[in-house]
């Protein structure tokens, strides 16, 4: 079975190549904004009579009777046009009918003739920008239909426009008779060639370039270089069944604790290098001045690169952990956490100020540093890819419930240790992971099909398929 899979690589070029790539992004950003402005104007001319009157569509107005020899701002044809609207009659008629991706793509031919720098770029790259704008409008209308916050497409500044995606790219171009993507003989690197852009060298690493049809390429400018995300049609990898299930508890003292007793150390919430760079920038900051010193800009660049590398290292480690879990287990139980509410500020309002604000802010930083949401996202899409199951369960009282007898008591947990009156004693996070697994098997066991993992038993011998001891208490209060 063929499926689409995206691989991300680092791309490198020369110093002049990076400058040329930035210059291409600047022209594409201008193209995006011009296409958006044209769509907005078409809509106004079609819906608002005041704009139709201003641009000469409909009844003429004697108030604005001045004419001059100008160029039509739409098609570029010179003639004697109205000073205010400066548009020929043919374009004025067409301006009231809306415009979409297909028509703007046809207008590219004239637009690139007016801009020689834009003409140097491949048409596939420019069409990709128009398709990106068209996709933004489609999603805008979808949100309007669903009653969500619309989020109308906005104009982009150069600092916000960092990505280009050539449309209709392939490994070998029969028209140009050249390779877009060419692999080296040893397979350790590849070269991506797009007309109008610098030649990019891609380091493939151990995994290499997959065999299959190239369907999409996205190039993103980063602080440290360029990222190439390439989508291929590949054969779906089928993982063998293991008939094993696991529960996962996430925290700040331990990143992951499994029901099998394994624990993973967390990401550090504090970063000494980050703090040091910020202190140096603070000393060199010129208050009230837009232009900063060269040393300040160097420190700013160092800070951005440090944070970017930190994000890459964290994501890479999470990829390794989640891939290992999906390969080893057929069912993975996780908590359904409300991260937005958990990391909400305790500052309060002027009338009702919060308490322990600094302590809560430190806890929020520790929670956000662990990237629980990214971990759950990776588990879900990898499990779906491999034909495994991920079950999300409510987190209430999982850390206060005894995994042996089912007793719920907040007093049984002492920091990282859990000790029950029945004699059961274990790590508090491992105890919670066992309860998470039992709750998942109890609530979703009937939907797992005939090939579901065998029923997991508690340390005391009770089968987790019976949820009697997992019901939430009504008399005792507490958090997870």
Which residues are designated catalytic? 249, 335, 429
Q: What are phi and psi of 290, to 5 degrees?
A: -75, -40
Is 148 in contact with 24 (CB distance < 8 Å)? no
Cβ neighbours of 439 (radius 10 Å): 24
Is 44 in contact with 95 (CB distance < 8 Å)? no
d(C-alpha 89, C-alpha 55), whole Å: 10
| Torsion sign across C-alpha atoms 87, 92, 96, 98 | negative
- E strand segments, 283-324: none
Secondary structure class of 199 (helix, strand, coil): coil
Pair of tokens at residue 124: 């596939």
Pair of tokens at residue 389: 């199951």
CA 444 remoteness from chain centre? 29
- Cβ neighbours of residue 282 under 8 Å, at least 6 residues apart? none
Please give, one letter per residue, the 3-state secondary structure of 436-465: HHHHHHHHHHHHCCCCCCCCCECCCCCECC
**Strand 245-250's sheet: what is its strand order?**
263-264, 256-258, 245-250, 331-335, 389-393
β-strands 256-258, 245-250 pairing: antiparallel
β-strands 2-12, 226-235 pairing: antiparallel
Please count the residues of the chain.
Answer: 480
Is 445 in contact with 330 (CB distance < 8 Å)? no
Is 28 in contact with 123 (CB distance < 8 Å)? no
CA 236 remoteness from chain centre? 23
- Cβ neighbours of residue 361 under 8 Å, at least 6 residues apart? 345, 346
The DSSP letter of residue 353 is B
Q: What are phi and psi of 245, to 5 degrees?
A: -130, 155
Pair of tokens at residue 133: 């704008």
The DSSP letter of residue 411 is G
Partners of 419 in the β-ladder: 425
């Amino acid at each position: 079975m063929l499926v689409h899979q995206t691989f991300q690589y680092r791309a490198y070029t020369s110093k002049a190549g990076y400058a040329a790539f930035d210059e291409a992004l600047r022209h594409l950003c201008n193209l995006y904004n011009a296409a958006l402005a044209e769509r907005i104007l078409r809509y106004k001319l079609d819906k608002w009579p005041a704009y139709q009157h201003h641009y000469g569509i409909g009844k003429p107005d004697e108030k604005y009777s001045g004419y001059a020899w100008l160029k039509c701002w739409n098609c570029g044809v010179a003639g004697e046009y109205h000073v205010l609207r400066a548009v020929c009659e043919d374009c004025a008629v067409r301006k009231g009918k809306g415009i979409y991706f297909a028509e703007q793509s046809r207008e590219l031919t004239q637009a690139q003739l007016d801009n020689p720098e834009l003409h140097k770029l491949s048409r596939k790259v420019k069409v990709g920008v128009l398709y990106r704008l068209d996709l933004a409008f489609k999603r805008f209308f979808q949100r309007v239909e669903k009653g969500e916050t619309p989020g109308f497409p906005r104009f982009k500044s150069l600092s916000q426009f960092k990505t280009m995606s050539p449309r209709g790219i392939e490994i070998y171009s029969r028209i140009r008779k050249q390779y877009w993507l060419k692999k080296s003989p040893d397979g350790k690197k590849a070269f991506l060639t797009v007309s109008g852009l610098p030649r990019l060298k891609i380091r493939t690493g151990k995994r290499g370039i997959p065999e299959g049809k190239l369907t999409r390429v996205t190039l993103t400018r980063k602080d440290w270089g360029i990222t190439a995300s390439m989508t291929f049609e590949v054969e779906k990898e089928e993982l063998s069944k293991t008939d094993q299930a696991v529960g996962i508890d996430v925290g700040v003292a331990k990143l992951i604790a499994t029901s099998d007793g394994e624990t993973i150390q967390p990401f550090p919430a504090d970063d000494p290098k980050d703090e040091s760079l910020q202190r140096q920038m603070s000393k060199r900051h010129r208050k009230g001045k837009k232009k900063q010193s060269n040393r300040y800009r160097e420190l700013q660049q160092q800070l951005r690169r440090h944070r970017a590398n930190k994000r890459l290292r964290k994501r890479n480690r999470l990829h390794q952990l989640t891939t290992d879990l999906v390969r080893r287990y057929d069912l993975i139980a996780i908590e359904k956490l409300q991260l937005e509410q958990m990391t909400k500020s305790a500052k309060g309002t002027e009338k009702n100020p919060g308490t322990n604000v600094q302590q809560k802010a430190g806890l929020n930083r520790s929670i956000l540093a662990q990237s629980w949401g990214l971990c759950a996202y990776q588990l879900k899409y990898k499990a779906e890819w491999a034909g495994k199951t991920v079950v999300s369960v409510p987190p209430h009282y999982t850390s206060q419930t005894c995994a042996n007898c089912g007793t719920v008591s907040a007093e049984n947990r002492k920091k990282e240790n859990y000790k029950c009156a029945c004699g059961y004693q274990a790590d508090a996070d491992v105890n919670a992971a066992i309860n998470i697994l039992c709750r998942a098997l109890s609530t979703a066991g009937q939907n797992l099909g005939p090939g579901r993992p065998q029923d997991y038993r508690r340390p005391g011998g009770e089968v987790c398929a019976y949820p009697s001891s997992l019901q939430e208490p009504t008399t005792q209060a507490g958090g997870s």
